[in-house]
Amino acid sequence: AQSVAQPEDQVNVAEGNPLTVKCTYSVSGNPYLFWYVQYPNRGLQFLLKYITGDNLVKGSYGFEAEFNKSQTSFHLKKPSALVSDSALYFCAVRESNYQLIWGAGTKLIIKP
Amino acid sequence: GAVVSQHPSRVICKSGTSVKIECRSLDFQATTMFWYRQFPKQSLMLMATSNEGSKATYEQGVEKDKFLINHASLTLSTLTVTSAHPEDSSFYICSAAGGSNSPLHFGNGTRLTVT
């Protein structure tokens, strides 16, 4: 069965520092991987996806993620964090019928 | 870009009443929509998959008679929480995909509070 793991419940980063939110996956076949962000009391917003092609994927708001097949990881990164990046981040893998298998979420806190 | 509109954003209702939540894809046709429930500080729980023109597929443990889903057109799916109880209070989110390999687009969610 496919699964997604986000090992950190919370990540704290100082504003201006680089940030990484970790995600590992387990799939049979080629993975379709996604990152979504959720702001308080809001729905989710799509950040970026990996389907095929370059391992480094660039997305919205300056975020990027690196697909690493050997380590089965898809970590979310940003070179310089902003306080406004504070939110809940979800990694997900898609099954063939569009259903997403979700990670548990990581709360990102950026301190000024 | 693709937008999914979810209405209402907040609703407070009395125990025993029913509440309808609408999910609309505004600029694309969605043959499949998904309904999620999110508990505080937890990830999304898929409740059901809504297919246009056919019955919804419910996840294990989700009461189909309590959470009625209707997907009458390619742009509208509704979730009705029937005979609501306080334990139904939660954040409900819908999503839809515009096509193969397209990311899911999410509504802004509905905060349901049952008193």
CB–CB of B91 and A104 under 8 A? no
C-alpha to C-alpha distances, B21 to A25, A86, B54, nearest whole angstrom: 33, 28, 19
Give, for all 112 residues of chain A, the pLDDT tens digit: 778 999 999 999 999 999 999 999 998 878 889 999 988 767 788 899 998 889 999 999 999 999 999 999 999 999 999 999 999 999 998 866 566 788 889 999 999 9
Q: What is the pLDDT of residue B108?
A: 83
The beta-carbon neighbor of B43 closest among A41, A97, A102 is: A102
Radius of gyration in angstroms for the set of CA atoms belonging to chain A, rounded to a whole number: 13
* B91 strand-pairing partners: B38, B111
CB–CB of B109 and A43 under 8 A? yes
Segment (H or E) for B35: strand B32-38
**pLDDT digit string, tens, across residues B33-71:** 889 998 776 678 889 988 888 889 898 899 999 999 998
Between chain A and chain B, the number of residue pairs with CB atoms below 8 A apart is 49
**pLDDT digit string, tens, across residues B69-110:** 998 888 999 999 999 999 999 999 998 876 656 677 888 889
- Distance (Å) from the alpha carbon of A80 to chain B's nearest alpha carbon: 26
